[in-house]
Structure 1
Amino acid sequence: MHFPCSPFGVTMTMLLGLVLASSLMAASAINFNQDFEIAWGNGNGKMLNNGEMIQLSLDKSSGSGFQSKNEYIYGRFDMQIKLVPGNSAGTVTTFYLKSQGDINHDELDFEFLGNLSGEPYTLHTNVFCQGIGLREQEFKLWFDPTKDFHTYSILWNPLNIIFVVDNIPIREFKNRLSEGIPYPHNKPMRLYSTLWDAEGWATRGGLVKTDWTKAPFNAFYRNPCVASSRGVPPCGSKSPWQSQQLGPRGRRYLRWAQKTSMIYNYCDDRKRYPIGHRPRECRRLKLH
C-alpha cells in the first residue's frame, strides 16, 4: 500500500483521520508529578519542567525507570518518547503495561532495542498472558525515533489489543477467550517505562556490546495520556475506547505497516513452530 506526498509513505492528513473505527482521543497531557513516580535508578530518573517531562538515564552504575501510581483494567495508554540518539547498541528503552508478580502475570510490551549509529532501532512488541509471552512481533520504524518525539499507544479493551505508532496501528491481538486462547482480561496493570542495559541480547543477539564511553544514555518521555474507567480521566474527549476496533481504513494501515516494517512474526517462525504446531491463535485466522 503506497501513500504519496510523504518520505515515509503517509500524509499528515491521513494520519489525523483514519486509524480506528471510532474517533481517537485527543492528546491531553497528564502531569507526571501527580500520576507517576520514579521507581528506581539511583538518581538516573528525573522529572523535568515541573513534571512535564521525564528523563531516564543509563550509565554503568544503573539504568532507571518510572511507573504509574494507579492500576487499570482496560484503557488507552499514550506516551510521547524520544529515544537514545547515536550509538545506542545494548540499550533497551521500554513502555509497557504489567500486572503484579512475575508468575502468571499479564503484560503488553513496547521495547526499543538500540543499535549502532546510523542503524534503525528494532521495535519489539509482545503480549504476555498468564505468565507466558512468546508472542513477539518486531518492526523497523519508518522514521528516526531519536530526532523528535513520537507517540506510542496501547489500546486494551474487552475486544482487542492494538499497538499504535503515531496513530498508525502496527499490531492487533483479538480477544478469543471463547476459543480457549488466553487474553489479558481480569488482572489490573500498571504502566511502566524503563531504560536499561541488555547488551547480552538486545543488539544482534548480543553480538554488539554497549559502548560505555557514550554514557550516559538518555531517553525522554512527555505527554502521558490514560483513558480508563479507573484513575486518570479520559484523554481530552470521551471517545468510547471500550469499543474501539480497527475499521477498514485502520486495517489498510495495519497491512501497510506490517508489509513495509515488520521483520519478525512469531506465527511465521517455522524453527520455533513447525507446520501443524503453531499457537492456536495463529492457526485459524491470520494474526496481525
Structure 2
Amino acid sequence: MAMINYSTILFPLLAAIMIYSVSANFHQDVEITWGDGRGQITNNGDLLTLSRQVFWLRIPIKNEYLFGKIDMQIKLVAGNSAGTVTAYYLKSPGSTWDEIDFEFLGNLSGDPYTLHTNVFTQGKGDREQQFKLWFDPTIDFHTYSILWNPQRIIFSVDGTPIREFKNMESQGTLFPKNQPMRMYSSLWNAEDWATRGGLVKTDWSKAPFTASYRGFSEEACVVSNGKSSCSNGSGQGSGSGSWLSQELDSTGQERMRWVQSNYVIYNYCTDAERFPQGLPRECLSA
C-alpha cells in the first residue's frame, strides 16, 4: 500500500464493494470481519457486497500464501472517484510486514485513474511505480495479476507485464520471501493524498462509490499450520507449479518495455531528488 497506516485513517467512506467469484467460492474463501450486516455473501457464494459508512472496507481471503500467482478481475469506481483508493494486495501481519500492492487512485470525472504499485519488505516500502492505463478501467472488468516466486515479482494487467521486481538479495536488496501473506481487497478514503497530492477532495454527494471484483483465482503455495503446500516443489492449482520458476520471455520483456516507455508517470528509480544519498541499489542494477 502507499505509505498509509490503516489505523490512522480517520475519514469515513460511504461505499459498496461487490465481489464476484468465478474460480472461488466466497463462502469458503472470504473471512468477513465487519459486523452489523456490513458484509453479505449471496448468489450461492458468487457475490460479496460490503456497504455502510465506515473508515475503510477491507476484505481478506482466508488462505495465507508463501509465493503464488494471483489473478483478480476488477471494475473500478466510475464517475467522480476523486479521493478514493481501490486496492488489491498481498500483505503479511506485524510491524515488519511484507506487502505487494495494486492501488487505483481515483480522479475527477473524465480524468484517468492512476495505477499505483509498491513492494514492501520488512516494513519498508518506498518502491512506487505509477501508471496511466491504456483503457478506461471503469467500463468493464480487467484482470490484474501478481506473480510472486522466489526470483521475482511481476505485476500484469490483462496478461501484459507492467513491472518486474527482481530478487537482488545478493546485492543487498531485501526481497519478500519468508513471511506468508494474505490477499486483501479494499476501498477506502484517502482524500488527503490520493488525487493530485490531496488537492482534490472526495465529493460525498457522489456516494456510494462502488468497485466490483470477480474471477479471483490462485495458483499458490498455501501455508497452513506453518507448513507450505509446496513442500514437494509445486503449488496448488493448475500449471504444476510452473509459476514457481516463471520469468519473462522475450515477448513479455518487449511488452513490459512498451508499457514502461508509454504509460509510467512515476518511477522511484528515476527520482534522484527523493534519494539525495543515492538511488536504491536495485535501481542501479536494473
The TM-score bracket by the shorter chain reads 0.7 to 0.9
Classify the secondary structure of the residue corresponding to 1:73. Answer: strand
What is the identity, as a one-letter code, of the residue corresponding to 1:145?
Answer: P
Comparing 240-249 and 40-49, the one that deviates more: 40-49
Q: Percent identity?
A: 59
TM-score normalized by the length of structure 2 = 0.84
What pairs with 1:13-162 in structure 2 (closer than 5 Å)? 29-40=23-34, 43-57=37-51, 60-101=53-94, 103-162=95-154
Note if contact 1:41-1:63 (Cα within 8 Å) is conserved in structure 2.
no
Q: Could you list the runs of 5+ residues in structure 2 that have no partner in the other structure?
A: 1-20, 224-228, 230-234
Aligned to 2:190: 198
For 2:136 and 2:237, how far apart are their aligned partners in 1? 26
Note if contact 2:171-2:281 (Cα within 8 Å) is conserved in structure 1.
no
For 1:56 and 1:220, how far apart are their aligned partners in 2? 11
Higher strand share: 2
Note if contact 2:220-2:237 (Cα within 8 Å) is conserved in structure 1.
no
For 1:194 and 1:94, how far apart are their aligned partners in 2? 5
Aligned to 1:253: 255
Deviations 1:57-80 (A, max 9, x none): 4x6544312111111100011111
Structure 2 CA distance for partners of 1:72 and 1:180, relative to 1, 3 Å: same
Aligned to 2:270: 268
Q: Could you list the runs of 5+ residues in structure 1 that have no partner in the other structure?
A: 1-26
Deviations 1:10-68 (A, max 9, x none): xxxxxxxxxxxxxxxxx9711121111223375444434222133344x6544312111
Aligned to 2:232: none
What pairs with 1:225-264 in structure 2 (closer than 5 Å)? 225-230=217-222, 234-238=236-240, 240-264=242-266
| Pairing 1:209–2:201 present | yes
Q: Alignment length, in residue pairs?
A: 256
Aligned to 2:167: 175
Aligned to 2:279: 278
Structure 2 CA distance for partners of 1:153 and 1:77, relative to 1, 3 Å: same
